[in-house]
């Protein structure tokens, strides 16, 4: 289980990354910082971070290609 100190350290890492990369998505946070998605949600619920908005469906899915 994580302690309050761990929460603050993780939150500082996330905030620093978001300052350098303001267009970062939740997926970027999990890939670059190696945090599990549930951990991000947990930190958001505790209130130490504010997650970026979820990626819209059109951006998540690759555009369909038309075959001729």
* pLDDT at residue 67, as a whole number: 67
* pLDDT at residue 15, as a whole number: 94
* pLDDT at residue 65, as a whole number: 66
* pLDDT at residue 36, as a whole number: 92
Q: What is the pLDDT of residues 28-63, one digit of tens each?
A: 999 999 989 999 999 999 999 998 888 776 666 666
Dihedral of the alpha carbons of 43, 7, 34, 39, in degrees to the nearest 10: -30
* pLDDT at residue 55, as a whole number: 74
């Amino acid at each position: 289980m994580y302690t309050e100190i761990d929460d603050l350290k993780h939150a500082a890492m996330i905030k620093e990354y978001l300052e350098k990369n303001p267009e970062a998505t939740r997926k970027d946070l999990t890939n670059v910082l190696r945090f599990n998605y549930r951990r991000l949600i947990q930190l958001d619920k505790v209130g130490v971070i504010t997650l970026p908005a979820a990626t819209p469906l059109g951006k998540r899915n690759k555009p369909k290609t038309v075959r001729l």
